């Protein structure tokens, strides 16, 4: 599976600018790319409590529809973040959009300091089947909690996609965390972070990375805008799980209601 990591500098609150760059990037992806991954809240940037009602969009809004159209035209799947407005409740949301539409929606469950008072935390973890691979999504601060990735592992995730908005001085924290989360769940992990400056004096740390199911870094970006293309060897999933499987060996299981959907999605509700 060929994946493109798109590490960009965004503009907080400037959806038109962010959307234009997103669509340009999708249009320019390699012909055989199957998955394009962007940073956290790529479409809207990070809102504040004062402006979120003006910035956040419903998932059937114009920005998400435009990304859906671009995914259909290039026959590629896109992982992209947005400040979501669900009937007046706001979520930090990442979507897996395939040429057929929205295949997976995840609302950030662990809110960072600047998220609190702006977003409502999500209430579930979810995976979906895409091209025969079970895919799950996490967002930024989530990966600092082993239970988040373990919830996806418990749902059978083989590929963990992380949209990131991690800032200085926490780049090394996420480098360590994403390697551990991949190894613990014997799954691929793809993490794409933002770069450049944001509102409030933030400087985003970059460091987008792909980690294999053994916890080994396959690629790692610097601090500048870039596009990296990585081929995931899915046979390594089998190799990593051939001698032992952490999910089978563990003595504790995460609580929560598990829901199986007819379309192949699985959810674990947070108790």
* Structure confidence at residue 187 (pLDDT): 98
Residues of the chain with pLDDT below 70 are none
C-alpha radius of gyration, the chain, whole number: 17
- Other Cβ atoms less than 10 A from the Cβ of 110: the count is 17
| Residue tagged active-site, from 4, 34, 84, 108 | 108
Q: Is the dihedral of CA 135, 20, 207, 205 positive or negative?
A: negative
Contact 188, 210 (CB under 8 A): yes
What stretches of the chain show up as alpha helix (H) in DSSP? Answer: 15-27, 52-55, 62-74, 146-154, 171-185, 235-240, 246-249
Instruction: Give the model confidence (pLDDT) of 215-269 as tens digits.
Output: 999 999 999 999 999 999 999 999 999 999 999 999 999 999 999 999 999 999 9
Please pick, among 4, 84, 140, 267, the residue that the annotation labels catalytic.
140
Which 8-state DSSP code applies to residue 166? Answer: -
Catalytic-labelled residue, pool 40, 57, 158, 267? 40
Residue 20, pLDDT score: 98
Round to whole Å and give the CA distance between 74 and 66: 13
pLDDT of residue 178: 98
Spell out the residues 6+ positions from residue 236 whose beta carbon is closer than 8 angstroms to its own. Answer: 188, 212, 213, 214
b (16+ CB within 10 A) / e for 15-29: beebbebbbebbeeb
Stated pTM of the model = 0.96
Would you state the pLDDT for residue 16?
A: 97
Q: Which two tokens stand for residue 218?
A: 């396959």
pLDDT at 141: 98
Please say if 40 is a catalytic residue: yes
């Amino acid at each position: 599976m060929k994946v493109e990591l798109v590490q960009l500098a965004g503009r907080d609150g400037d959806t038109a600018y962010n959307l234009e760059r997103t669509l340009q990037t999708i249009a320019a992806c390699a012909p055989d790319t199957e998955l394009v991954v962007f940073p956290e809240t790529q479409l809207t940037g990070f809102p504040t409590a004062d402006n979120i009602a003006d910035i956040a969009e419903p998932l059937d809004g114009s920005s998400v529809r435009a990304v859906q159209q671009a995914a259909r035209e290039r026959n590629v799947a896109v992982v992209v973040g947005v400040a979501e407005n669900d009937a007046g409740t706001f979520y930090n949301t990442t979507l897996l959009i395939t040429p057929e539409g929205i295949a997976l929606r995840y609302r950030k469950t662990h809110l960072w300091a600047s998220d609190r008072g702006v977003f409502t935390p999500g209430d579930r973890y979810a995976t979906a089947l895409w091209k025969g691979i079970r895919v799950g999504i996490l967002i930024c601060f989530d990966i600092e909690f082993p239970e988040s990735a373990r919830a996806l592992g418990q749902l059978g995730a083989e590929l963990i996609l992380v949209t990131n908005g991690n800032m200085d001085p926490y780049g090394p924290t996420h480098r360590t965390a994403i390697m551990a989360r991949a190894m613990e769940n014997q799954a691929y992990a793809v993490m794409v972070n933002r770069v450049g400056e944001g509102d409030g004096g933030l400087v985003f740390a970059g460091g987008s990375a792909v980690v294999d199911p053994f916890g080994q870094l396959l690629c790692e970006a610097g601090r500048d805008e870039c596009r990296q293309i990585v081929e995931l060897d899915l046979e390594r999933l089998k190799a990593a799980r051939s001698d032992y499987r952490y999910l089978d060996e563990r003595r504790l299981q995460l609580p929560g209601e598990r829901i199986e959907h007819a379309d192949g999605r699985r959810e674990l509700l947070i108790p």
